[in-house]
Amino acid sequence: MLRLENVTKTFNIGSASAKKALDDVSLHVKKGDFITIIGSNGAGKSTLFGAICGDFFTDCGSIFLDGEDVTMLEEYKRAHNIGRLFQDPMRGTAPGMTIEENLALAAGRGGWLSTVTRAEKALFREKLSLLGMGLEDMVEQQVGLLSGGQRQALTLLMATFNPPKILLLDEHTAALDPATADTVIKITNDMVTENSLTCLMVTHNMQSALEMGNRTIMMDRGKVIFDTSGEERSRLTVNDLTERFSDIAGRALATDRMLLGI
Ligand SMILES: Nc1ncnc2c1ncn2[C@@H]1O[C@H](COP(=O)(O)OP(=O)(O)OP(=O)(O)O)[C@@H](O)[C@H]1O
Ligand SMILES: [Mg+2]
């Protein structure tokens, strides 16, 4: 489904501030894989997603999406195959438009968004009700007025409205309060598993990393340093995971948010 072969990315190449954010990364993702990604600050997790989406071209290596070599393909040409969520709930939805207009956009419908048909309205309400956040009764509300959690749940629905080949979640619950984050995590899990989506999810929550999905990878200093699935993974505890990190990386696994306890 997704294959990265020896991908390296250096920011500010050739200057004193050059930073190798991805260092010879190879990763094979199978169709239907739900992979959680953990790693310290600056490990290269977001850069990995940037490379997949084509935010920039990599220094070397190759990227294949569903058999197609996309290494040199511009970002906008990859976008329709990729769903992506960021930490910031303000990204991914249009604040000045209503919920149904946003969904009409996500459904890929052209024409006047303000004339959402009755059939579309019914479909949108049905999909919204599955989120369990009461959004189905607010379809004409402007998205800018929603809470961060509601907005992130809506973004998730929009990103998967037409199932993408791959869904990339970059700490998409990190900016939410713990209770709302739990709700959005549950929605995510249901959505990914029920639709058998292929998904990569960056999280700083070690428990979620082990409980969700079928495989976990750990990144450090631009490299994938640990990749676990199957029985080995099912036996791992959070403690094992952090110990494994310090064994391999030679220092304790810590992120700002882990240190802050959020
Ligand atoms: N656009 C950029 N220009 C220059 N350096 C960058 C850029 N983006 C990322 N970097 C650097 O590349 C390294 C990897 O960054 P990246 O954002 O991928 O880390 P991360 O694993 O997502 O970290 P975090 O957990 O903090 O989100 C960092 O040292 C970062 O400062
Ligand atoms: Mg990041």
Number of structural domains, the chain?
A: 1
Phi/psi at 257 (nearest 5 deg)? Answer: -70, -35
Q: Residue 104 domain-assigned?
A: no
**Tokens coding 199:** 């998904």
Asked if pLDDT for residue 170 goes beyond 70, the answer is yes
**CATH number of the CATH domain containing 9:** 3.40.50.300
pLDDT class of 253 with cuts at 50, 70, 90: confident
How many helices and strands, by DSSP H and E, does the chain display? 10, 10
Domain assignment of residue 49, yes or no: yes
pLDDT digits (tens, 9 = 90+) for 53-110: 999 999 999 999 999 999 999 999 999 899 999 999 899 899 999 999 999 999 886 6
In a domain, 168, yes or no: no
Per-residue pLDDT tens digits for 133-162: 999 999 999 999 999 999 999 999 999 999
Q: Which residues surround ligand 2, an ion (CB under 5 A)?
A: 45-46
Spatial separation of the C-alpha atoms in residues 135 and 138, rounded to whole Å: 5
Contact status, residue 127 vs residue 195, Cβ threshold 8 Å:
no
What are the respective helix, strand and coil percentages of the chain, to the nearest 5? 40, 25, 35
Residue 41 counted as domain residue: yes
Residues enclosing ligand 1, CB less than 6 A?
11-12, 19, 21, 39, 41-47, 255
Decide if 42 is inside a domain.
yes
Which is the closest atom of ligand 1 to the Cα of 255? 25
Residue 116: count of CB within 10 angstroms of its CB:
21
d(CA 201, CA 221): 18
